[in-house]
Amino acid sequence: MIGCRHSMTINDVTPSARGCEECLKVGSPWVHLRLCRTCGHVGCCDQSPLRHATAHFHATHHPIIEGYDPPEGWGWCYVDEAMIDLPDQTAQLTPIPRYV
C-alpha cells in the first residue's frame, strides 16, 4: 500500500444495498459503483450524475473505497489520492441492476 497511510481502516464489510443507496431512493441512474471499505456504504462513481461515493467520503471521512461494480479489484484512498492494493475483494451477494 505504498502512498497510503489508511490501510488500518480497511474492513471486511457487507454491502449496504444492491446499487447506489441514494440513487435507488431517488430513481437516478449510475455508471459504476464504489464500496466504502470502512462501513459498507454503496455509492455511485464520479462519472455518475450524483457522485454519491465521493459525497459519502466528504460526510464521513471514510478514506478507502473499492471498485465494486463491475468488480475491479482496486482500491482508492480519497485522503492520499492514491490507488491501493486491497487485501481482498468484496463479493457481490446478488446480481447488481444496471442503470447506465
Residue 100, domain member (yes or no): no
Residue 98, domain member (yes or no): no
CATH number at residue 35: 3.30.40.10
pLDDT tens-digit map of 15-42: 999 999 999 999 999 999 999 999 999 9
Residue 99, domain member (yes or no): no
Residue 62, domain member (yes or no): yes
DSSP 9: G
Residue 49, domain member (yes or no): yes
71-80, Cβ contacts within 8 angstroms, sequence gap of 24 or more: 75/10, 75/37, 76/34, 77/3, 77/4, 77/6, 78/54, 79/5, 79/6, 80/3, 80/4, 80/5, 80/6
How many domains, in total, are found in the chain?
1
pLDDT tens-digit map of 36-90: 999 999 999 999 999 999 999 999 999 999 999 878 889 999 999 999 989 899 9
Residue 97, domain member (yes or no): no
